[in-house]
Amino acid sequence: MPNPPAASDSSDMAQRFAAAGIIPPAERAAGTFANAQRLLSAQHWLRQPRSVAAEPSNTFSLAPKEPV
């Protein structure tokens, strides 16, 4: 398996949050950015590249089911 991407610093995380319009409280900012970095690191291992053909075709339907 390939190695995970390099870790981002907290200023990079702050820029990502700001671009998304998310402003964490000052007392929670450091922990928020650290957790976001952990999630990004885990995403590399959990989300593997796959083609459109590998995606599930119909996992749910918004149409109501008829009673049995």
Cβ(16)–Cβ(36) below 8 Å? yes
Q: What is the mean pLDDT of residues 46-61?
A: 70
Which amino acid, residue 5? P
Under the banding of pLDDT at 50, 70 and 90, the label for residue 7 is low
Q: What is the mean pLDDT of residues 35-62?
A: 76
Considering the domain boundaries, does residue 1 fall inside one? yes
Tokens for 43?
């995403």
Under the banding of pLDDT at 50, 70 and 90, the label for residue 34 is very high
For residue 4, give Cα distances in angstroms to 7, 20, 38, 40, 63: 9, 23, 11, 9, 40
pTM (two decimals): 0.56
Question: How many independent structural domains does the chain possess?
Answer: 1
Domain, as residue range, for 29: 1-18+25-43
pLDDT higher than threshold 50 for residue 1 = no
d(CA 17, CA 60): 31
- Tokens 């907290």 belong to 10
Considering the domain boundaries, does residue 55 fall inside one? no
